[in-house]
Structure 1
Amino acid sequence: MENSLDATEELREITLIRMAAHQQIVERSFNKNVKAKTFQLGDWVLRKAFQNTKNPADGKLAPPWEGPYEITQIVRNDAYRLTDQ
């Protein structure tokens, strides 16, 4: 019985190593297809509508985006100041 416990622990460690390797492969293949979007001053963009900004009377048919908004300032990477039309 002691041998089977040692073998079980060994199998568990091997499985964890295989899972980590597989996750790295999946992550690499996913990241290959991701393209970073950068915006510049004056670009017109849509903003994702969150629960606190949606009209509750619209229900689940509410549009998922708000806008268009103009980018007036770049605060830092991927953070922008927007203004309405």
Structure 2
Amino acid sequence: MADPYGGPTAPEPRTGSAGRPAHGPVRPVLWLLLVLCAVCNAVTSAMDGAAVAVSLGFGLATLACGVGLYVHHRRARSVPAGVPGTPGQAFREEGSR
């Protein structure tokens, strides 16, 4: 339906087969890597000796996966600029310049 006030309209979100937004394979792969790295980090943390460096590597990989998931989530929720009613949009009245 066209906007009666002439403003831009928000694009329709893509949906997957279950009616949820389609995000592609990025999110499931990041979740799989996050769980795998967290388990490997826990196992190597329980070991003694030279496993500290390996555990640190798995810990950093776990952190990187978590940051990747956060960034992917924020980008998926972002709304294009100029869509009426979105946070952060500056509205100008017609008489002010």
TM-score of the two chains, using structure 1 as the length reference: 0.40
Q: Select the structure that is richer in helix.
A: 2
Q: Bigger relative contact order, structure 1 or 2, given CA contacts below 8 A and separation 6+?
A: 2
* Higher gyration radius (CA): 1
